[in-house]
Structure 1
Amino acid sequence: MKTLFKVVTTSVLLGLSLNAMAAKPTSIVFESNGTGADGKEYSNYQVKCSNGKNYPLTAWDNRKKWCVGDETSEACEKKQIKAAKKACKGK
């Protein structure tokens, strides 16, 4: 029983520590504006993450829709911070 408790406790602590080490956004910087092939305007941003990597974000509909990647991306969120976190996680 003690062994099972130790294994479960170790697994939980390992999972929590891995989550704490995940990259997090440290800054979001505006880069440029653009117009899509369909005539819709968008803005390009750069997310800097705690792991030292940079990822692009694209804002649509007056910053009501935030997409990870360039203007062709489908991975979108309603909130800037959610999209930035998703980008830093590499999704």
Structure 2
Amino acid sequence: MLIINGVDSATLNNPHHVVSGRFHKRSHMDIAVLAKAFAIAIGGIAPAIAIGKIGSKAMESIGRNPEAAGKILVPMLLAAAFAEAIAIYALVIAFGIK
């Protein structure tokens, strides 16, 4: 019998495992909650990084050429909106996971 960190193989193969002295049945709901968490986490990290880079590069270019601020602002806002849409799609997908 294999014992790793106090968990033996019989416990791992049993669909009912003891949690705080009570039996807990593993179900697809546990996996769905985990999938929702990953969808939001991964779907939120990339847009956050993208929006940060968009903003920093826009401010850097405005700092180099302040007269071009009006021409830079609109494309920056559009790019940020497209990046934010990816996060919204991830949220919709997370709500769709059953």
Normalised by the length of structure 1, the TM-score is 0.36
More strand by share: 1
Larger Rg: 2
